[in-house]
Structure 1
Amino acid sequence: MLTCFRGNREEFYGEVLLLDERKITLTGNQGLKKSSRAAAILDQVFSLLQVEEVEFFGLRFCDDKQQMHWLDPSRTIYQHRELIGPPYIFYFGVKFYVEDPSKLKEETTRFQFYLQVCQDVRRGRLSCPAYLKPRLFALMLQGEKKMIDYL
């Protein structure tokens, strides 16, 4: 087989789905390669979101058996054997919760926590008693309206 048809083994193309439903496209043009540490991808996402309390967040990806895995920032993209792609699809999310979110220092961190909880409630991953659901959904809608007005 001719090498011109194989493509570049270092070429990287990926997408990160954020908690607010936006998508970030990551390519080799941003200095990313398959031999890059996964921390480089996380750094790009944290920079875009202006998240400083990075220890609470991570990127997940789905393998060919539909199992979710956390991206290990200390390993290269090559070393994540379960990762399928390109394109590589990552999901940004809360990896570690704090006991009291009001003790978080940054507003952007609290906002990302809020988005994660809203997403988990909507998708049924976080249970909520039936009697609280109407109030919770009303608060979520109110929060989203405030966010739209803010933007």
Structure 2
Amino acid sequence: MPFGLKLRRTRRYNVLSKNCFVTRIRLLDSNVIECTLSVESTGQECLEAVAQRLELRETHYFGLWFLSKSQQARWVELEKPLKKHLDKFANEPLLFFGVMFYVPNVSWLQQEATRYQYYLQVKKDVLEGRLRCPLEQAIMLAGLAVQADFGDYSRFDSQDFLREYVLFPMDLALEEAVLEELTQKVAQEHKAHRTIMETVSIWAFSLWGFS
């Protein structure tokens, strides 16, 4: 090739990448999923994609939120194109799925999958200190949560696994000896709930959150 002769390199566009984008959504169980959406997709379409994976039909109780550039939680405006909304306001393209509208009574929720997501939200709110409760209630709720998440006490040779499980609100500064004592109390609560179905434990925990 003669010196000085430059071939023009043509730029190849990936049509999929131009017309679509991938966003991550953190679920209430802390798992993160990815959704591939059109650049014109609305927040509602993203919410419906998440609901489909969770087998949720009662989507009207839920929403998506993100951290703004000033680190404030902000709900997605579901009727607007999601990518433009995130580009304009979000700190990063990470969404959080959560309960947006609470009903007066958990019995209003028709679907078991809906009640489970409500349970996860209430448990998260308790552990992160948004829902306050006395220590004795925290022990009772922890026992219900262990039954809901792990099933009967009799399934385990020991309760050592509880030491790896977040049982109490994070804002409680508990000394190690006190934490061990309270963990044993939770183990006794868990034992008392044996034979109670996980779904009933979920219902009872959520019912407390609505009271």
TM range (shorter): 0.7 to 0.9
Report Cα offsets for 1:84-125 as digits up to 9, x if no partner.
44xx10111000111110221111101100010011111111
Counterpart position of 2:31: 22
The alignment partner of 1:26 has SS state of strand
1:33 Cα offset (Å):
2.4
Counterpart position of 1:83: 90
Matched, 1:133 2:142: no
Paired letter, 1:140:
A
- The higher-RCO structure (CA 8 Å, 6+ apart) is 1
Out of 38, 43, 64, the position equivalent to 1:38 is 43
Out of 2, 8, 21, the position equivalent to 1:12 is 21
Report Cα offsets for 1:9-55 as digits up to 9, x if no partner.
6441211111112211122xxxx123221111111001000111111
Counterpart position of 2:53: 48
TM-score by length of 1: 0.83
Matched, 1:142 2:147: yes
The alignment partner of 2:77 has SS state of coil
Out of 68, 73, 83, the position equivalent to 2:73 is 68
TM-score by length of 2: 0.61
1:138 Cα offset (Å):
1.1
**Structure 2: 5+ residue stretches without partners:** 1-9, 156-197, 199-211
Larger Rg: 2
Count of residue correspondences? 142
Task: Give the structure with the larger helix fraction.
Answer: 2
The alignment partner of 1:58 has SS state of strand
Counterpart position of 1:106: 111
Counterparts in 2 of 1:79 and 1:133: CA distance versus 1, 3 Å: closer
| Sequence identity (%) | 33
